[in-house]
Amino acid sequence: MQTNDKKENQRVRLTKALLKEALLRIMAKKELSHVSIKELCEEAGINRSTFYQHYGDQYGLLREIEDELLEKVRAQLEKIDSSAESILYIESLLRSFRSEPELCRILFCCNEHSAFHDKCFALILDQFTRRVQLKNREGDGHFVLTFLINGALCLIQQWIGEGYRVSCEDLARLIYRLCDNATRGILQFSVPAETNEKKEPSAH
């Protein structure tokens, strides 16, 4: 029984791998909304009934591809010591994307849907908030994080779209400096009023 189960699991993994590879090949040429199940199955050499045993549509297949990649990225980030500098997290994030160049190019640059961007945002936000305490005035911290993370993701998307011409280390330093300068400005702006009062003696 165990042998049969093992063979069945192997067949399922092979089928899913063929479908994922086929979808990515097609998405390198056209948008997902223009991909039909028939075309996908023909590309993968899989019949449609087999496809529907595992996925409801091509969007479900893409979601699984995205989730598997981001789980690998998350696992890589979790290996970094919690006391490490933030720039090491940025470098690790970039290296994770760089290790899957064609997959990331398709997901970042050939996908008209925003789901992958949103998932990346959620992953980075989770990692950031668990390791960094950002002090900001009047509870606006979530706006600051949205600005910083979306800005970093736009740079990463451009980096991927241009073929990774800049090294992971150089891009990490650039993102780190931009974020550091932005938060320094915010923190400076949010100095409590009583601090200024202590610096300026009373006229009485």
Claim to verify: residue 140 and residue 102 sit in the same structural domain: yes
> Which tokens belong to 100?
């899957």
190: pLDDT strictly greater than 50:
no
Q: Is 203 a domain residue?
A: no
pLDDT tens string 156-165: 999 999 999 9
Claim to verify: residue 19 and residue 105 sit in the same structural domain: no
Claim to verify: residue 16 and residue 49 sit in the same structural domain: yes
Q: pTM for this one? A: 0.80
5: pLDDT strictly greater than 70:
no
147: pLDDT strictly greater than 70:
yes
Residue 145 CB neighbour total at 10 angstroms: 20
* 46 confidence band (pLDDT: 50, 70, 90): very high
Claim to verify: residue 99 and residue 77 sit in the same structural domain: yes
36: containing domain: 1-56
130: pLDDT strictly greater than 80:
no
- 110: exposed, middle or buried (Cβ count in 10 Å: 0-12, 13-18, 19+): middle
Claim to verify: residue 161 and residue 97 sit in the same structural domain: yes
